[in-house]
């Protein structure tokens, strides 16, 4: 829980200084709706890319946020899992489509993929195409169980995509009044150490209201605790990336 909300708002916050593309891989299309592209205005998107072999550059559209483009989920995306089953390169449809359009990809600093909840072919395509996985984790009782399952999945997908890393866990829907939130956060941190982001996303009503207005919470109410947390999260992600780039350089030298 919290995947789509994090995809939308992290993408929006990153877009203030970076060029960002958000891919909506969930047939529900909540990331598309939340960015102001309702179901009846979707047109061609992820399905056309994965199944229809349409080039990425044809399908991307600008969002109302400067610096943020969107590949929406088209209404046919729900059928993609079944239609891809018979294809030989079924796990690599997305990776292949991205590799074929390197010039378009080069226009972006960050590509964010919003995944569906299940580990089907759509999610697998995202994991095979991605460099890293960011897991939003709701601070509730079963959180640790869910996250160890995701960690195992990442390990398994490494056979198809050796580059894939579980880069971060973001605690979300944190409720300060609930002791359980605090306990779960402590557990997750002691297990996953610095892979857990310092920034915590609070449970905040403005966050849940924003999508029905077709807006990221950063535009809906920038002063809300939710919007401020996503701004901090983006800054922390950029800082971690810079540190990683420095470490990689030092490793080469
Ligand atoms: N920090 C938050 N505070 C309050 N509500 C939230 C928060 N994050 C997500 N929600 C709400 O919880 C529900 C599920 O979130 P969503 O991001 O769509 O999860 P997922 O994509 O993982 O299914 C949505 O209704 C969303 O508005
Ligand atoms: Mg979602």
Question: Taking ligand 2, which is a single-atom ion, which protein residues have CB atoms under 5 Å away?
Answer: 3-4, 30
Q: What is the mean pLDDT of residues 126-139?
A: 95
The confidence score (pLDDT) of residue 253 equals: 62
Kindly tell me if the per-residue pLDDT of 19 is higher than 80.
yes
- Strand ranges (E), the chain: 20-24, 61-62, 68-71, 110-114, 132-138, 165-172
Residue matched to tokens 């995509």? 161
- Catalogue all structural domains in the chain, each as residue range(s) with its CATH number: 3-248 (3.40.50.300)
| Cβ atoms of residues 188 and 201 within 8 Å | no
What percentage of the chain reaches a pLDDT higher than 70? 99
Closest CA to 134 of 33, 46, 5: 5
The pLDDT of residue 149 is: 83
Compute the residue count for the chain: 253
Residues whose CB falls within 8 Å of the CB of residue 65, separated by 6 or more in sequence, listed in order: 12, 15, 35, 216, 219
Average pLDDT of the chain is 94
Ligand 1 is surrounded, with C-beta below 6 A, by 1-5, 30, 117, 172-173, 201, 203-204, 207-208, 211, 226
Protein residue with least CA distance to atom 8, ligand 1? 2
SS3 of residue 31 by DSSP: helix
pTM across the whole model: 0.96
Q: pLDDT tens, 238-251?
A: 999 999 889 888 87
| Cα gap 71→56, rounded to integer Å | 8
Mutation test of ligand 1: which of 35, 197, 208 has the most ligand atoms closer than 8 Å to its C-beta? 208
């Amino acid at each position: 829980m919290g995947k789509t909300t994090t995809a939308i708002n992290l993408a929006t916050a990153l877009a203030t200084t970076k060029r960002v593309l958000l891919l909506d891989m969930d047939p529900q299309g909540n990331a598309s709706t939340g960015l102001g592209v309702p179901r009846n205005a979707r047109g061609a998107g992820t399905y056309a890319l994965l199944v229809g072999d349409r080039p990425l550059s044809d399908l991307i559209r600008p969002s109302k946020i400067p610096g943020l483009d969107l590949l929406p989920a088209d209404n046919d995306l729900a059928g993609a899992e079944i239609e891809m089953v018979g294809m030989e390169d079924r796990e690599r449809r997305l990776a292949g489509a991205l590799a074929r359009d390197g010039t378009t990809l080069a226009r972006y600093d960050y590509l964010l993929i919003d995944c569906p909840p299940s580990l089907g072919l759509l999610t697998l395509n995202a994991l095979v195409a991605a460099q890293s996985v960011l897991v939003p984790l709701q601070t509730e009782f079963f959180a640790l169980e869910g996250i160890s399952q995701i960690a195992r999945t990442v390990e398994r997908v490494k056979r198809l995509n050796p580059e894939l890393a579980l880069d971060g866990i973001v605690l979300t829907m944190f409720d300060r009044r609930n002791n359980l939130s605090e306990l779960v956060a402590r557990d997750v941190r002691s297990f996953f150490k610095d892979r857990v982001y310092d920034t915590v996303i609070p449970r905040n009503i403005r966050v849940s209201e924003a999508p029905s207005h077709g807006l990221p919470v950063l535009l809906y109410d920038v002063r809300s605790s939710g919007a401020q947390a996503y701004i901090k999260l983006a800054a922390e992600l950029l800082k971690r990336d810079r540190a990683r780039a420095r470490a990689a350089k030092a490793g080469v030298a």
